[in-house]
Structures are given as C-alpha cells and as structure tokens.
Amino acid sequence: MTATTPTSTLSRDWVTLWFMVAMHGLALLAFLPGNFSWAAVGVALLLHWVTGCLGITLGWHRLISHRSFQVPKWLEYFFVFCGTLACQHGPITWVGLHRHHHAFSDQSNDHHDSNKGFWWSHMGWMFRDVPAKREMGRFTRDIAEDPVYLFFEKYFLATQIVLGVVLYLLGGWPFVLWGIFVRLVVVYHCTWLVNSATHKFGYRTYETTDKSTNCWWVAVVTYGEGWHNNHHAFQYSARHGLQWWEIDITWMTIRLLEMVGLAKKVKLANTNAAE
C-alpha cells in the first residue's frame, strides 16, 4: 500500500471480519447465568499464560521472529504449539507479518501503521486485504519449509477445536466458553495493544524511526511486551524491560530457561551503543 492509497479502498477480508465478530459474540455467552465458575476462570487464566506468554510473546515473537535466543528444537516446537493455541493464524503467517512490520514500522506500507489511527493499528487493518498479507514469503524463508510449522499453519484452527473438546470433557460448557472464547478475545486484544497503544501512549527512551513507546500497563497484560520502544531500538534483544522498574516476565522466563541449560546464545541490548 502506498501513501496515496486510502485504506477504505482496500477490499474487505470478510472471513477475518466475521470470525472476529463470532469470537466476541461467543465470549459474551460466558457471562450468562450458569456459565460462570471460578474453575473456568482459572482455566482461562492458565491458558492465557500458556498461549499469550509462552506461545506468542516468548515463542513466536522473541524466539522465532527475532531469534533472540536458541532452544532445543523439541522445545521450539512446543512453543510453536503454544502460540498456535492463541489462534492468531498459523506461525508462518504471524512471523511473516511481524517481520514485515519491523521492516516498515509506521511507514505507509506497514500493515498496522499507527499514523492511520488507533483503530486501524489495533485491529482495523485485519479486516482489509492489506498488501502485507501477500508479501510475507521473503520474510519467512527460514521456517517456510519446516514440516512442523507447515502443520500448525494449516491446522491452527483444528488444534483449537481439539482443545475445546478436551475442555468440554473436563468441565462442560463453562470451561469451553472461558477457556476458549473469553481467553482468546482477551489474548487478542492484549496482543493488539502492542500494535496500537505502544505506538501512542507512554514514554520514549530511544529515538527510533517509528512512534514506538514504552507503556507500563501494556507490559503488565503482555508479560513484558509493552516496553516496545526498547524493543524497536534493540530488536534482537531477548530482554525488553531494560530499566529496573521495567518488569519483563517473559525475560525472567527466558533467564530461567538459560539457567537450567535450555536457552543458549541469548542476545541482549547493547545500550551503550545507543547513547
């Protein structure tokens, strides 16, 4: 998309639009009488951590998209699986779009360019046929032929259905409504806040070429991803919270993996080079 192409002229992605409408609508059913239980809420919170932290933040983002550290292949595939359960499309598509964003952050061809407004960068871009969706091949050559990645790319929705069946057998419809629909909607918006809020609210420690900011409340709900200006300044760094007050739960998890010998070649920001 060029600077002269209005977003309104892009054709709608009706599949994504109606999928998101359905997900949000089904999540509301969890709040009807008879569908609430603290056990179901506990399942949702546990799966939020598994899919949002271990899957998206640690796995798909810091490990795979940026290769900030290395783990054994079996553990990498486990994190790929956890991310697949976040139902944010398959890992190849997600990684490709994220790398595309970093290549063109806040430029006219950035698919969630924050200059186009909060709604667009938060979720509006998903409902349009943005060119980035067709330009991911050159950003994913390292994973595009991996059979495990290809399996989850093809069957990411099927794995969610299997999880739903398991939850139903364990706790009936309350487990399904909270563990699938409520949890997914919350993880979606937490992830999207990194695209929207952390290009609008907060402070900037480093003068990057985009509008990325450090936003503490986004860091709280995304396990440390809210220190986004730090991340754009040092994309390769496994640690995003660079100051003592910038709590980064995902970095703590990576550090634990390193201490037990499962994470190696951990890359850290060279803040002296940026001063």
**For 55-95, how does the pLDDT look when each residue is reduced to its tens digit (9 = 90+)?**
999 999 999 999 999 999 999 999 999 999 999 999 999 99
DSSP bridge pairs for 141: none
Query: Residue 124: is its pLDDT beyond 90?
Result: yes
Rounded CA-CA distance 265/120 in Å is: 36
Would residue 83 count as lying in a domain? Answer: yes
In this structure, of 3-7, 13-17, 75-79, 152-156, the range with the lowest mean pLDDT score is 3-7
- Which residue range(s) make up the domain with 113? 10-274
Would residue 129 count as lying in a domain? Answer: yes
Would residue 64 count as lying in a domain? Answer: yes
Would residue 198 count as lying in a domain? Answer: yes
With b meaning 16 or more CB within 10 Å and e meaning fewer, what string describes 103-124? ebbbeebbbbbbebeeebbbbe
Which tokens sit at 92?
């190849």
Long-range contacts of 107-116, Cβ-Cβ distance < 8 Å, separation of 24 or more: 108/1, 108/2, 108/3, 108/5, 109/1, 109/2, 111/1, 112/195, 112/196, 114/195, 114/196, 114/199, 114/200, 114/210, 114/211, 115/211, 116/7
Query: Residue 137: is its pLDDT beyond 90?
Result: no
Query: Residue 257: is its pLDDT beyond 80?
Result: yes
Average pLDDT over residues 141-150: 97
Which tokens sit at 60?
């798909």
* Residue 2: predicted pLDDT: 40
- Beta-carbon contacts of 81 under 8 Å, excluding residues fewer than 6 positions away, are 55, 152, 159
Query: Residue 6: is its pLDDT beyond 90?
Result: no
* Residue 105: predicted pLDDT: 95
Q: How confident is the model at residue 9 (pLDDT cuts 50, 70, 90)?
A: confident
Q: What is the DSSP letter of 32?
A: S
* Residue 5: predicted pLDDT: 52
Rounded CA-CA distance 175/180 in Å is: 8
The single residue listed with the structure tokens 């909607």 is: 185
Would residue 2 count as lying in a domain? Answer: no
Total structural domains within the chain: 1
* Residue 274: predicted pLDDT: 56
* Residue 3: predicted pLDDT: 43
Q: Nearest Cα to 141, choosing from 97, 92, 68?
A: 92
Would residue 164 count as lying in a domain? Answer: yes
Would residue 5 count as lying in a domain? Answer: no
Would residue 48 count as lying in a domain? Answer: yes
* Residue 4: predicted pLDDT: 41
Query: What percent of the chain lies above the pLDDT cut of 90?
Result: 90
In this structure, of 20-34, 66-80, 124-138, 236-250, the range with the lowest mean pLDDT score is 124-138
Q: How far apart are the first and last CA of the chain?
A: 34
Which tokens sit at 22?
């359905």
What is the reported pTM? 0.93
